[in-house]
Structure 1
Amino acid sequence: MKSLFSLFLLAIAIAACKGPKEDSPLDAAFSPSEEHVEKINTACFLYFGEKDTVRLKTLIDGTTVTGTLDYAFFEKDKNSGTIEGEIRGDMLIAEYTFLSEGVTSKRQVVFKNTAEGWKEGYGEMKSVGDIPVQANIDSLDYSHPMVLSPSPCD
């Protein structure tokens, strides 16, 4: 009787140790790969004016946003860098770390999702720990014509 019980336990142990479970096709369809998730959560926006260009690429995870932001204004130094911030309602508020003329700098950027597209807000700046930030986010000016519209990501 004891050996029969031992054989039963051995059979259960072998059945439980089949190795890692392979995903069924249904599981795979509802568990997208990292690349697929990144494509879903990645969005690109572009302003292409007569002589100016602004490119914004965002990767959104919940309310957290990371990405890249590049400015190319006519007869001005190009700025190219990264953003880290958050979505608050219809606004993207981020710290922009950028390289211009070989110097790395930081400043706050605020974009508002308007009926026309994403528009950067401009207003009075103040310094917080050597980083320029908007003095009053609620009173920013979005009346300029520079609108970042959805664009294919490169």
Structure 2
Amino acid sequence: MKASIAAFFIVLAMISCKGPKEDSPIEVAFSPEDEQLTDMNTECFQYISEKDTIKLTTHIDGTNINGTLDYSLFEKDKNSGTIDGEIRDNLIIAEYTFQSEGQTSKRQVVFKNTDEGWKEGFGEMKEVDGIPVQVNIDSLDYSHGLALKPVPCQ
């Protein structure tokens, strides 16, 4: 009988020790929330001229990158969507999923970090699984003047 009572209290003690842990007020006060962590890795870039605007917001996690990309170019259809890809060397290589004239489309985008800012690379494209991608990322043209410069995120 004494053995079963002792076993009962041992089991009871083990169960009570494995209950849900509550954070102390100190841990709660100094633990960053998920939203704050996201903000720390968020960067915003923009190109603005008289008639054109390009906005890029990135969320970086190691070499992975995602975010939003919006084009509003004079006499062209407005594009607005998301990017999901990676950072390699000084390049952002991502799949851009966007809305334009009510249609959802995808294409690969490549941005190079230059002295002037992030510049999109243009070159020959081919379709892979229905998505236009660059044929040769190493030979893209970045000579245009559309450089996205850092701006405060809003």
Q: TM-score range by the shorter chain?
A: 0.7 to 0.9
Report Cα offsets for 1:85-143 as digits up to 9, x if no partner: 11111110011111111111111000011122111111111111221111110011111
Give the distance between the partners of 2:76 and 2:39, measured in 1 at CA.
33
For 1:12 and 1:133, how far apart are their aligned partners in 2?
61
State how 1:9-24 maps to structure 2 within 5 Å: 9=10, 13=14, 16=17, 19-23=20-24
- Give the structure 1 partner of residue 51 of structure 2: 51
The aligned counterpart of 2:76 is: 76
> Which residue matches 1:32?
32
The structure 1 segments of at least 4 consecutive aligned residues displaced by more than 4 Å after TM superposition are 7-15
- The TM-score normalised by the length of structure 1 is 0.85
- Partners of 2:98 and 2:135 lie apart in 1 by 21
Separation in 2 of the partners of 1:97 and 1:17?
Answer: 46
Structure 2 residue runs of 5 or longer lacking an equivalent are none
Q: Give CA-to-partner distance per residue, 1:10-63, whole Å, 9 cap, x none.
A: 89558736752324636753x421011010111111101121000011111221
Gaps of 5+ in 1: none
For residues 79 and 151 of structure 1, the distance between their equivalents in structure 2, rounded to whole angstroms, comes to: 20
Aligned residue pairs total 152
TM-score normalized by the length of structure 2: 0.85
Q: Percent identity?
A: 59
User: CA separation in 1, counterparts of 2:39 and 2:131?
Assistant: 32
Give the equivalent residue in structure 1 for 2:147. Answer: 147
In 1, the alpha carbon distance for the partners of 2:25 and 2:89 equals 38
3-state DSSP of counterpart to 1:74: coil
Counterpart AA for 1:124: E
Query: Which residue of structure 2 aligns with residue 101 of structure 1?
Result: 101
Equivalent residue number for residue 85 of structure 2: 85
Q: Which secondary structure state, in structure 2, belongs to the residue aligned with residue 83 of structure 1?
A: strand
2:132 alignment counterpart: 132
CA–CA distance in structure 1, aligned partners of residues 19 and 102 of structure 2: 57
Q: Distance in 1 between matches of 2:11 and 2:70?
A: 63
